[in-house]
Structure 1
């Protein structure tokens, strides 16, 4: 298996003959609105797609969406929708998102299995894992979505945590399944009120201690409400004595 970090939560997974694009945010730098009103009011994304992106996207065979409604453009924006529509690629998603994505003119393949139950995915199996995209009042306003646990013949198992804080659900799932590779959101995103809506430094370090496999951090340095930097996260992991992979945009790693 290969994993290529594109930008923010957008990655590409090489799984045997398949190249799966996850949560495409493909807009140009500054094309999307700010995510905070009183501080960090920059337009998003903060950076352009990496130079490697066009060639990487050209060979994608499928798309996988963790969540996309209630304005979550950082996981599927208009540019991503246009690109998927033009390419006519199959878009795999939860039943909850199927009608919304179909209304965008996309070729939708909804998953059928219940949460944490195995269902068919390409030539392997997939499970969904509940996300908690923030707690308290801010959590009530969010689209929580899912993470995905993918097992393919001859490939390492991979858990895409999705946009979530570190909950008992996530802890228990990792302890039970111990994925070979985990991809976790690490930007410490927050709005003008409430707490973090995805993992920040401390929760990523705790997650990494729970997991026996490799852990890859993303959701970094691309959105105005994500203050955690790659340098900060790497230094914290080194200080904690844990091995955490912090990829640059465009970088590919093989497992």
Structure 2
């Protein structure tokens, strides 16, 4: 398995012959509106896509969307919709998002409305788990979406958490399914009111302690409402003693993950993960 970090939550996961694009935000720098009203009103995204993005995107065979309504352009923007529509890439989503995506001309393949129940996917299986995209009043205004657990023959199990804070449900899901690789949002995003709407440093460190295998942190340094930096997260991981299992890739970086429990035991993660 390979995970190619493009920008923010947009990654490409290589599983066998398949290349799965996750939550594509493909707009150029500053093409999207600010996400905060007060203070510095920076337009988004803050950075361009890496130079490797164009070539990597040409290999995409499928797309997964965790959530896309209520203005969540950082997980599916207008440029990405056109890109997917022009190529008629199969787009896997929840039934909740399927109608929204179909109305925009995308080639949607919705999953059954059964959280945590497996469905066939690329020779293996996939299941969803609910996200909590913020608590309290701000949480009631958000589109919460789902995370995905992908299990494919000969590959490590992969949990894509989606945009969520660390909840009892997420804890229980990880404890029960014990995914070998997890991708979590780490930017500590927040608006002008309310608390964090995704994990920040403390919750990512806690999640890494709970998870049995490798954790990949993204959703960093690309949006104006995400204050966590890669350097701050890496420092916290070292201080917590989890730096060997928590990877913080830069945009454009490609991670190669172990393909089995035996390989994971035989190699040092810092050496074999890149």
Bin for the TM-score computed over the shorter chain: over 0.9
**Residue deviations 1:154-205, cap 9 Å, x none?**
1110000000000000000001111010000000000000000000000000
1:245 to 247, 253, 266: 247
Counterpart-to-counterpart distance in 2, 1:55 and 1:162: 25
Deviation at 1:39, TM superposition (A): 2.1
Counterpart-to-counterpart distance in 2, 1:125 and 1:112: 12
Could you list the structure 1 runs, at least 4 aligned residues long, displaced by more than 2 angstroms after superposition: none
Secondary structure of 2:125's counterpart equals: strand
- Kept after mapping to 1: 8 A contact 2:158/2:180: yes
Tell me the residue number matched to 1:44. Answer: 44
Counterpart-to-counterpart distance in 2, 1:70 and 1:90: 22
> What are the ranges of 5 or more consecutive residues in structure 2 without an aligned counterpart?
258-274
Deviation at 1:240, TM superposition (A): 0.6
**Residue deviations 1:75-128, cap 9 Å, x none?**
000000010011110000000000000000000000015101111112110010
Secondary structure of 1:233's counterpart equals: helix
Tell me the residue number matched to 2:25. Answer: 25
Counterpart-to-counterpart distance in 2, 1:206 and 1:84: 36
Counterpart-to-counterpart distance in 2, 1:40 and 1:114: 42
* TM-score, reference length from structure 1: 0.99
- Kept after mapping to 1: 8 A contact 2:94/2:113: no
**Most deviating of 9-18 and 110-119:** 110-119
RMSD of aligned C-alpha atoms? 0.6
- Kept after mapping to 2: 8 A contact 1:149/1:157: yes
Tell me the residue number matched to 2:15. Answer: 15
- Kept after mapping to 1: 8 A contact 2:95/2:113: no
> What are the ranges of 5 or more consecutive residues in structure 1 without an aligned counterpart?
none
Tell me the residue number matched to 1:99. Answer: 99
Aligned residues: 255
**Residue deviations 1:143-163, cap 9 Å, x none?**
000000000011110000000
Secondary structure of 2:129's counterpart equals: strand
